[in-house]
Amino acid sequence: MHAPVVSLSTNVEATPWSAERLATAQALAAPIDQRIAQAALVMLTLDDHVAAHAAWSDAQAALEGDDRTARHGGTT
């Protein structure tokens, strides 16, 4: 067994994979990673995170006629 994965950026760097396997995974991931990174920089702010969560909760509550307080364990 190898050491536990500790890398914060890419998990693959801490694996015992061959250089080829590692390079393939990173090459396949790179364009998607960059696409999302760029979009997130433009689209996401801290307020958006909060708003997205609230919107989801509100949508669920509206759809289900739910008591949000009960559903979320009284923490909302």
At closest approach, how far in Å is the CB of 76 from other proteins? 16
Residue type, 65: G
Indicate which single residue of 3, 6, 19, 33 sits in contact with other proteins (rule: CB under 8 A).
33
Report yes or no: 14 and 5 within 8 Å, Cβ to Cβ: yes
Indicate which single residue of 64, 69, 72, 76 sits in contact with other proteins (rule: CB under 8 A).
64
Report yes or no: 54 and 44 within 8 Å, Cβ to Cβ: no
H/E run at residue 25: helix 19-43
Q: Which residues are at the interface with other proteins (CB under 8 A)?
A: 2, 8-12, 15, 17, 21, 24-26, 28-33, 35-37, 39-40, 43-44, 48-49, 52, 55-56, 63-64, 66
